[in-house]
């Protein structure tokens, strides 16, 4: 599980320069950007905060995200 302290400081790497890039934790397995909708998987309790990874899941609805996320 990702610590609350880490969740408070993490931001979407694609949005953080121009917007807040705040992230919402979804089903303990995904971080979803409130600004752009990119979705970042949490694999082995480590958020994968790569823009390319977020882009892969951007069009997927939150309900359709696989739990647990697939390993890279």
Residue 54, domain CATH: 2.20.25
Structural domain total, the chain: 1
Cross-strand pairs, 24 = 32
Domain that holds residue 30: 4-64
Task: Tell me the pTM.
Answer: 0.92
Contact 34, 42 (CB under 8 A): no
pLDDT by residue for the chain (72 residues), tens only, comes to 788 899 999 999 999 989 999 999 999 999 999 999 999 999 999 999 999 999 999 999 999 999 999 886
CA–CA dist 33, 3 (Å, integer): 18
């Amino acid at each position: 599980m990702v610590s609350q302290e880490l969740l408070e400081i993490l931001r979407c790497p694609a949005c953080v320069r121009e917007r807040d890039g705040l992230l919402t934790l979804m089903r303990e397995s995904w971080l979803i950007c409130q600004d752009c909708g990119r979705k970042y998987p949490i694999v082995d309790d480590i958020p994968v905060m790569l823009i390319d990874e977020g882009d892969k899941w951007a069009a997927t609805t939150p309900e359709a995200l696989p739990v647990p996320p697939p390993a890279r």
